[in-house]
Structure 1
């Protein structure tokens, strides 16, 4: 069973590399369309732009553009929806988007994906799957974009209250909506707990993954998830938060499975074939431990067709007959001469 899974992994990797020019644009199109629909669901205030056809056209364009362009598309989508509610909140989000772009989106394109995925996973109630996985895949660089994604999601939650307030208020002045958003962020202990937990878990997981030990990734998975549960339970106890315990443990199990799947496709070391080497130069001694990755190549099968015995006898008989006829013909010619 394990060999078949490894065969499938190798086949999938080869298939992706062979057809990357087709597979990658399709994946980018599906991802862009899905995330745009999710963000429109998080900020559903402008019905003019709430049309799947518009999202599909933009996603088709995104399929052939760098992934960081999707960050700017989604930012504009959120701005259009915020414009419908409050001008001051719109301006505040413009400043936030510019800061994020200068701080980490321009540094690495995958940081834009982290921000987007973090906000979407919170919206889908699957946020506990992320911290350990981000620490394993990205490392320390995932802390800032993940924190920005948490803030974007909580902004969508606060906007429900602010839009109701601005709609029912008879005397709404400029800056009232943004002030309300800032006040909610400052007093929301749940936001604080998630920001601290995500940052610490990404930091701890990254440190454990970089230990000089062949099974460091295994310790990172379990210790990272256990630490996340302890931090969230501690925050729930101290601040009397309302997130559900059963969902936390269920997503922890799912998160461990996701980490194992990622590590399997990246390559698991065969610790039974560890090789050690040492060498030196004028200043240092070097000791190297090499752990080969588990790889299984499927054997090529050569099939040889073997004809039946009757056919072989017929062929052999025909050959003998031809040779006999040739010999008789040569003998007759010799007698005539």
Structure 2
């Protein structure tokens, strides 16, 4: 355990020393992976799908805040859809505009979540998102989680059904087919179930980790994972969704592991050394519970400097 704590401290110190380099790299990689996934699923515009443009936009993302990165990715999605249908692109643009107005109103600081929710879906580990959001964010993160889920399903529905929705040999999409896309989005039971499960999980995890009890974060992670699994499993059975139970189990277990890794780096404490104290002022009594963090003191290094010239003089005196 001590070696793990030492490794954690080294990583944190490295990040603190080179934060100005690490952060742009993370943003670049997140932007690049997101753009490649957009290209693979709705990459209908040749210009935006070219490697030069993808890499160039990813480099720009490296120097933007997360909120601006989400806007860049949203514009990329809309422009690609415009390439196949102006009507469909306009519909998606309106949906995106409404979501971003609400996003910047309620949770403007959670832009990273809005980027990573669709990524988690594409990587088949979406169950980790609400747990992490509940652990390290505020309840307002629910807005980002919901909108990220909607963005993923918009991309998924369009990419999976585009060939069936083209109404003519020219590839144009009729008004009736646009209405069918809207109905697919509104009535998609998988999306609705994911939104419900993620919202409940985020709020439950946040509520439990805020409790003044021992191992609150561990209890929150386990409770949130079990609750999310049960809601998804029961919901799929009731709604008759064709989802694999095995993948749900695997995704939940992977989410558990990632959540405990996040806990180790963000909230690693030693409950065995918990202290309780109380004091008062003119208006209140204060009861304080102090839980020390797990830290390992850096080893002290004593460096001895040997003056070679002085040693030579000492030897010369002895010979004399």
- Report what 1:261 is aligned to: 261
Residue 271 of structure 2 is aligned to residue 286 of structure 1: no
RMSD: 2.5
- Report what 2:5 is aligned to: 6
Is the Cα–Cα contact under 8 Å of residues 114 and 145 in structure 1 kept in the other structure? Answer: yes
- Report what 1:335 is aligned to: none
Residue 35 of structure 2 is aligned to residue 29 of structure 1: no
Q: Write the mapping of 1:9-158 to structure 2, written as runs, cut at 5 A.
A: 9-105=8-104, 108-158=107-157
The count of corresponding residues between Structure 1 and Structure 2 is: 316
C-alpha separation in 2, matches of 1:257 and 1:113: 21
Q: Please state whether the residue corresponding to 2:49 is helix, strand or coil.
A: coil
Q: Please state whether the residue corresponding to 1:49 is helix, strand or coil.
A: helix
Q: Please state whether the residue corresponding to 2:288 is helix, strand or coil.
A: strand
Is the Cα–Cα contact under 8 Å of residues 107 and 140 in structure 2 kept in the other structure? Answer: no
Q: Please state whether the residue corresponding to 2:48 is helix, strand or coil.
A: coil
- Report what 2:158 is aligned to: 159
Instruction: Provide the TM-score with structure 2 as the length reference.
Output: 0.90
Instruction: Provide the TM-score with structure 1 as the length reference.
Output: 0.85
Deviation of 1:108 (Å): 4.5
CA, structure 1 residues 41+170, in 2 after alignment: closer, same or farther (shift >3 Å)? closer
C-alpha separation in 1, matches of 2:245 and 2:231: 12
What 5-or-longer segments of structure 2 have no aligned partner? none
Deviation of 1:46 (Å): 2.0
Is the Cα–Cα contact under 8 Å of residues 105 and 111 in structure 1 kept in the other structure? Answer: no
Q: Write the mapping of 1:231-246 to structure 2, written as runs, cut at 5 A.
A: 231-246=231-246
Deviation of 1:160 (Å): 3.4
The structure 1 segments of at least 4 consecutive aligned residues displaced by more than 6 Å after TM superposition are 170-173, 314-317
- Report what 1:334 is aligned to: none
Q: Please state whether the residue corresponding to 1:48 is helix, strand or coil.
A: helix
Select the structure of larger CA radius of gyration.
1
Q: Please state whether the residue corresponding to 1:183 is helix, strand or coil.
A: helix
- Report what 2:247 is aligned to: 247
CA, structure 1 residues 78+188, in 2 after alignment: closer, same or farther (shift >3 Å)? same
Is the Cα–Cα contact under 8 Å of residues 208 and 219 in structure 1 kept in the other structure? Answer: yes
Deviation of 1:87 (Å): 2.0
Deviation string, structure 1 residues 133-164 (Cα, Å, up to 9, x no partner): 22112131221111111111211222135422
